[in-house]
Each structure stands twice: as structure tokens, then as C-alpha cells.
Amino acid sequence: MTTTTTPDFTAIKAKQNATWGSGDYAVIGSTLQITGESLAETMDLRPGSRVLDVAAGNGNATLAFARRWHEVTSTDYVESLLDKGRIRAEAEGHQIQFQVADAEALPFDDNTFDAVVSTFGVMFTPNQAQAASELIRVCAAGGKIGMANWTQDSFIGELFTTIGRHIAPPAGTHSPARWGDPEWIEQHFGSAAANIELVPRTFDFLYISAEHFLDVFRTWYGPTLKAFAALDRDGQDQLASDILELIHRYNTATDGSMKVPGAYYEVIVTKR
């Protein structure tokens, strides 16, 4: 007889909140700015569109869409991340609405936004099906849902897998990289979609060296920081060794630096 245990998503999200609030994700997130710009170009919205950025982090997509004169609402469930986005927006003079919000229970009415976007954000929600449903719900009919999602077999997808071999993820949860699986996207968005387009993209992780990448992620990237903190010295050394081995396997630089291509999809869903 098999018993299926429903994950305690509330407890998982509370732990995730603390994880993403640790370190300083903005140090990492800001290097990914080009992915927000690329998504905004691909979606090609009419200026003045109402755009919701879900799990916005420090505001890469938020700023990209605001720079194109859209009415942007930037949301995340980690307030300190929104604060970083707010500082960036103020420096550029953008009028953006910032609001703490849970991607699995968005505090907006149905059909509110012309576009709903997320760059490497909503894919980290523990209740993935619920988050997908929320993106669809708040997007207006004929509107677009646009995401940048790492793929399972990408460098970052394998980084998740590597960390998971040392620190088991919460029972009942799945890899964030499922959001970069075309079949999963079709399963969760297909019934509400007039059209789904997946555009393959690559983001190059450029660092001084493999060891520099490890130091930056170990210091500033919450999930990696917390993973190392949960291990004893031997476990930390082994995780560091495994991450460095992964980098060397993907690294295309030949001068001692690091240039690692990270595959992802731009997912564009047009709602019926």
C-alpha cells in the first residue's frame, strides 16, 4: 500500500523566502539583465500595456518593460528583492508599482493585465501547477504570458541537480527546470492558449574563473549559500568540487576565465 503525502507548501515557501532573502540575489540577478530585455523585444507589446512581473526579483524584466513605456506592476514575495528593484527604477525615473505578492495566490482580479511576465522567477515556486494557473487567471483574454525558463539539461538545470544530490529538496516538490520542458508547458498552459511559442536562447555566464563563479554564488546566491551552510566541512568540499567539475565540463573559455552557455526558453503563451 502506497501513501502519497501532500507537501506543506506554506512551510516550504516560508523556508524559500528566507533562502532568497539571504545573501544578495541582486549581485547575481543584475548580470542577467539582458534576458529581460530580450523577452521584452520578443513579446513586442504595444506601448502602454499593463504588465505584471511575477517573482520579479531585483527587477530585470520590470525595468525592461518599463523602458518600453509599459505600465508595470512588479511583484515578489521577498520584500528585500523588491527594494532593490525599486532603487533601480527610481534611479532611472520610472513610475512602477511594487507590491509584495505570492505567485501562487496573486492579489489581482481575473483578466487584469495585458501581459504577465517572469524571468527565472515563477519557475522556483513549489506548487508549480498553481503558479501556472495564476499566471493564466490574471492575464486578459488575447494577452500574453512571457517567461524565461532554464531547461533541464542546461548548465543551471544541472546545477540544481548537483545541489540536489547533496541537499535533498522538500518531499513532493519538483525541479524548477520543469518550466523549461515543452511538454510541461503544453500540459499546464495548452488548454488556455491560442498559441504557444518556445524560443531557444542562450545566456553566457561570464566570470573571471570557475573559482570566481563558485565564490560569488556561494556568497550571494541564496540557494547555494544555504546549501553550503547546511553541510559539514567535508560535504562543503565535495559540493564545491562537484560544482567546479560541472563548470569545467561546460566551460568554453580557453584563457583560464569562465564562459559557460546557459540554455533557456523564452516561453510566449497567447491566452484565448
How high is the pLDDT of residue 172?
80
More confident residue, 5 or 136: 136
Which ranges in the chain belong to alpha helices (H)?
9-21, 25-29, 33-43, 60-66, 79-92, 128-138, 155-166, 182-189, 210-220, 222-229, 233-250
Length of the chain: 272
Q: Give residue-wise pLDDT tens across range 54-103.
A: 999 999 999 999 999 999 999 999 999 999 999 999 999 999 999 999 99
How high is the pLDDT of residue 2?
45
- Find the mean pLDDT for residues 21-45: 96
Q: Give residue-wise pLDDT tens across range 97-124.
A: 999 999 999 999 999 999 999 999 999 9
For the chain, the average pLDDT equals: 96
Q: Is CATH 3.40.50.150 what the domain over 9-151+170-203+263-271 is classified as, yes or no?
A: yes
- What percent of the chain stands above pLDDT 70? 98
Question: What nine digits make up the cell of 66?
Answer: 518599463
CA–CA separation, 22 vs 127, rounded Å?
22
How high is the pLDDT of residue 183?
98
How high is the pLDDT of residue 24?
93
The answer for residues whose C-beta is within 8 angstroms of residue 246's C-beta and 6 or more apart is 155, 158, 159, 162
